[in-house]
Amino acid sequence: MLDTTPLNAAVDRFADRLRAAPQSRLQRGAAAEALALARELARRAQIIEGVEGGPYEMADAGMFAVADQVTVAGRDLALVLENHEELAEAVALVEEAQKRAGV
């Protein structure tokens, strides 16, 4: 079984920073960046799982929900990852999104 601790840690770190960010930071783009990341993580998980008719796009639940959306999508992806290359790509995605979000 693949150890996905690095992905879970990166997701948790980003989500915690989003939760602690002021509303103004979320409005200036951090929430949009987080939603884009959550959608990409969810898309990757659905592709690996072979979701029929998908992948489906994650809904926009608002700027105060994006931390939870990142967490859920990241955990879902962690459950289905099959190799170290996919894991490294996912961790890099999260880290880059956090940098772009500025949190």
* Alpha-carbon distances, residue 38 vs 1, 29, 46 (angstroms): 24, 14, 12
Q: Is the pLDDT of residue 88 over 90?
A: yes
CB count, 10 Å around CB of 85? 9
CB count, 10 Å around CB of 103? 23
Question: Tens digit of pLDDT for each residue in 25-64?
Answer: 999 999 999 999 999 999 999 999 998 888 899 999 999 9
Which residues in the chain belong to E strands, given as ranges?
none
Please state the pTM of the whole predicted model.
0.96
Phi-psi region of 53 (alpha: psi -120 to 50; beta: other; left: phi over 0): left
pLDDT mean across residues, the chain: 97
What contacts 54, CB < 8 A, 6 or more positions away? 46, 47
Name residue, tokens 């959550």: 38
pLDDT of residue 53: 87
